[in-house]
Amino acid sequence: MKLKIFALILSLMMIFGSLSIIFAQTSPPSLQPGPEPPAQAPQPQTSSGKKPIVFSANTVQGIIAKGKENTILMGSVHITTGSMIITADRIDLSGEDYVNVVCFGNVTVQDTEKGFSLVAEKLNYNRDTEIGLAQRKVFVNDTKNNTIIDAEWLRFDQKQSIFEAAIAVKVRKEDMSISSEYALYNRDTEEIWLHGGAIAVTEDGVLKGDVISSSSDWSKLKISGEVSGTITPKETATSQ
C-alpha cells in the first residue's frame, strides 16, 4: 500500500514538472526597456517682431480681422512705423500685421534715425523687408551724406542702405551734379555708379560718358565708354 502511494506521488511530481517546463518555454520573453528618447529642448516662443503702426486720418475703412487685415486711411494721413514717419493723401495697409504700406498723393517720408527724407507721388513699402519703391517726381535728401537724388523711380533698401534710381536721374552733392538714366548708390560707403548718358557737371567743366562711377571721394570720378567733356579754365586774378 505504501509503495502504491509513493508511486502515485512520484507520478504527480513528474506531471507538474513537465507542465512547468512547457509553461516556461511558451511564456513571452520579458521586454527590456528601450533607451529613453532624448529630452526635447523647449521651443522658443516665436514673435513677429514687427513694429507697431500709429496712424491718424480723416476717414478709416476696412477689415481688421487677423490674417485679413485691409485698412484704407484717407485724408491728411499720418502714420509712424519704427523710425519712419509717412504722410500722404491716402494710405492702404494690408497683409498680416499690416506688412504692406501703399501710399498715394503728396507722399512724404521722414527718417531722422537713418538720416534721409523722401517726397513722391506714390510709395510701396514693405515693413518686413524695409524695402520701399517710390514713383513719380521722386526727391530724396540724404542728410547723412549731404546728397540729393531726383528721379521718376527709386527703390530704397533700409537694411542694406542701398538706393536705386531710374529715369531722368540727377544726383547732387556739394558743387557737383551728375545726371543719367540709372544710378546705384550705397549710403554707407558713398560709392555711386551711374549708367546711360551720364553727365557730370562740376566747377571745372562738363564730363560725359556711358558710365560714371566714384568711391566715397567724389572728386575722383571714373568715366568709361564714349568719353567727352569740356574743361573750364579757372580765372586768375589780375594784378592792378
Q: What is the pLDDT of residue 49?
A: 57
**Average pLDDT over the chain, rounded to an integer:** 79
Residue 228 lies inside a defined structural domain of this protein: yes
Instruction: Quote the number of domains for the chain.
Output: 1
Q: Which domain holds residue 220?
A: 145-233
Residue 195 lies inside a defined structural domain of this protein: yes
Q: What is the pLDDT of residue 52?
A: 87
Query: Parallel, antiparallel, or unpaired: how do β-strands 176-186 and 192-202 relate?
Result: antiparallel
- Tell me which H or E stretch contains 19: helix 2-26
Buried b / exposed e over 111-146, threshold 16 CB at 10 Å, is beebebebbbbbbebebeebbbbbbeebbbebeebe
pLDDT tens, residue by residue, 139-174: 999 999 999 999 999 999 999 999 999 999 999 998
Residue 187 lies inside a defined structural domain of this protein: yes
Q: What is the pLDDT of residue 219?
A: 77
Q: Is the CB of residue 179 less than 8 Å from the CB of residue 203? A: no
**What CA–CA distance (Å, rounded) separates 204 from 220?**
12
Residue 178 lies inside a defined structural domain of this protein: yes
Distance of CA 67 to the CA centre of its chain: 20
pLDDT tens, residue by residue, 19-38: 343 333 333 333 333 334 33
Q: What is the pLDDT of residue 142?
A: 95
Q: What is the pLDDT of residue 42?
A: 31
Residue 173 lies inside a defined structural domain of this protein: yes
**What CA–CA distance (Å, rounded) separates 113 from 204?**
35
Residue 169 lies inside a defined structural domain of this protein: yes
* Residue segments in the chain with a per-residue pLDDT below the cut of 70: 1-50, 64-68, 234-240
Residue 63 lies inside a defined structural domain of this protein: no
Question: Is the model's pTM score more than 0.75?
Answer: no
Residue 221 lies inside a defined structural domain of this protein: yes
Grid coordinates of 221:
570720378
Q: What is the pLDDT of residue 50?
A: 67
Closest CA to 141 of 131, 127, 151: 151
Q: What is the pLDDT of residue 218?
A: 80
Q: What is the pLDDT of residue 205?
A: 84
